[in-house]
A = this chain, B = another copy of it.
Amino acid sequence: MDKSVTIKHVAKESGYSLATVSRVVNGNQNVKPATRKKVVEVIEKLNYRPNAIARGLASKKTTTIGVVIPDIANVFFSSLALGIDDVATMYKYNLIIANSDGIEEKEVNVLNTLLGKQVDGIIFMGHNLNDNIRAEFSRTRTPIVMAGTIDPDAQVASVNIDYTAATKDSTKKLVENGNEKVAFVTGPLIYPINGKERLSGYKQALKEEELEFNEGFVFEANYSFEDGQKVAERVHGSGATAAVVTDDDLAAGLLDGLLELGVKIPEEFEIIASNNSPITKMLRPRLSSISQPLYDLGAVSMRLLTKKMAGEEVEEKSIKLPYRIEKRGSTK
């Protein structure tokens, strides 16, 4: 089989040296066209395929990027991954994607595996960035970019939207629609994206609208449809007439739970979701949502990584992409 065809065979068969064949394979210009032609012919005849591993060892470049992802089956992250992949492909990189389940120990683990595999760069996605991870980051010279992931200390390069501002805008919108009691239905507050960024956006909005912050309107839950359903009764019972929800599945569950209680949406209760994922457009009523450019978040992260890998000094460490609020049926 072609399993064993190496550059040596091609060299021998074509009558040229290893170096020349290597040049042809790598598109080096210092090769006479006639030579190139002959070599290419032999390559095709022998069905030679360069061994990327050997190449990687010799050149210290693997054209492979490591991607740490908390859950590949989660639309939010897989959408980012799609953007990452497209740009990576554009730059001839492949992706080693490693699931971390969002568990710190696994994150450290896969990070080390990826570094062992000599990836040229790493894109990290996670819910929060703890010290262990940060320690690993600082132990390597491999360029790293975080996508859709908050670094409270802004040490590592990252690409995000301004979650604080987005949440603030959403909250204000709901207040302006006439709701004096706006609930904040959030994923785990230990994740900085919720506990820091979004919560402070929510508070800022209340302040600017001259409303009191009230802990009773903050509902913490997991990112899931079921949790949304479960929390619906309490949210409704609190007297709130609107909610900013930090996750789409959670928002979908809340919607479902409220409808189950006979609450009219948006007449009696308004909802704004956070990721503008496909389900927001499939539910009835459609969910209004903060629209994050997920694909772009991934794409820009990867683009940034290529720059860092090329050794370009990047001035802007924390890139913020623009967001919108997509008005649909769940708000007035």
Contact = CB atoms under 8 A, between A and B. Distances in A.
Interface of A: 1-3, 47, 49-54, 56-57, 62, 64, 71-73, 75, 78-79, 81-82, 85-86, 89, 94-99, 112-118, 139-141, 225, 249, 252-253, 256, 259, 278-279, 281-284
6 contacts: A64-B96, A71-B82, A89-B99, A95-B97, A96-B97, A279-B282
Given A98-B94, A252-B282, A278-B225, A52 B118 contact: yes
A282 B253 CA distance: 7
Contacts of A278: 225, 249
A72 B80 CA distance: 10
A284 B284 contact: yes
Contacts of A97: 85, 95-97
Contacts of A141: 1, 3
The interface centre, meaning the residue of A50, A53, A81, A86 with most chain B CB atoms within 10 A of its CB, is A53
Contact of A116 (B49, B72, B73, B112): B49
A116 B51 contact: yes
A112 B49 contact: yes
Given A57-B53, A112-B49, A94 B73 contact: no
Contacts of A252: 282
Given A2-B139, A99-B85, A283-B282, A94 B113 contact: yes
Contacts of A64: 96, 117
A112 B48 CA distance: 11
A115 to B, nearest CB: 6
Given A2-B139, A73-B81, 10 more contacts: A3-B140, A49-B112, A49-B115, A53-B57, A53-B117, A54-B57, A71-B82, A72-B82, A82-B99, A256-B284
A112 B47 CA distance: 11
B75 A73 contact: yes
A147 to B, nearest CB: 14
A53 B49 contact: no
Contacts of A118: 51-53
A71 B75 CA distance: 12
B85 A72 contact: yes
B53 A62 contact: yes
A16 to B, nearest CB: 21
B62 A72 contact: no
A224 to B, nearest CB: 10
Contacts of A225: 278, 281-282
Nearest to A99: B85
Contacts of A259: 284
Contacts of A89: 99
